[in-house]
């Protein structure tokens, strides 16, 4: 079995891969910082979002009240 590709293998800087699950959709986002759950601040998830399509989807609008699940992992 081969080792999974690292972000640096693809020419990307280390970051967090974030999956946001909404009814009928899964968004693949990326953040420079580890996301935190903080409902009192502009939605339930706070992160330093990456707006570069090489890393994932770019946030245009998210109805955070519809959030079903969220996961993240570090991509070295």
State yes or no: pLDDT of 3 exceeds 70: no
d(CA 17, CA 56): 8
For position 49, what pLDDT does the model report? 92
Between 2 and 19, name the one with better pLDDT: 19
Q: Any bridge partners for residue 27, and if so which?
A: 20
What's 14-61 look like in SS3?
A: CEEEEEEEECCEEEEEEECCCCEECCCCCCCEECCECCCCCCCCCCCC
Task: Write the pLDDT tens digit of every residue in 7-64.
Answer: 776 788 999 999 999 999 999 999 999 999 876 655 678 899 999 988 888 888 888 8
For position 1, what pLDDT does the model report? 66
State yes or no: pLDDT of 76 exceeds 80: yes
> At CA 48, angle to CA 73 and CA 6, rounded to 5?
35
């Amino acid at each position: 079995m081969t080792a999974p590709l690292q972000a640096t293998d693809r020419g990307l800087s280390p970051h967090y891969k974030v999956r946001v699950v909404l009814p009928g959709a899964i968004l693949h986002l990326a953040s420079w910082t580890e996301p935190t759950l903080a409902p009192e601040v502009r939605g339930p998830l706070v992160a330093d979002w990456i707006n570069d399509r090489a890393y994932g989807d770019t946030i245009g609008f998210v109805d955070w009240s519809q959030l079903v699940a969220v996961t993240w992992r570090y991509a070295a």
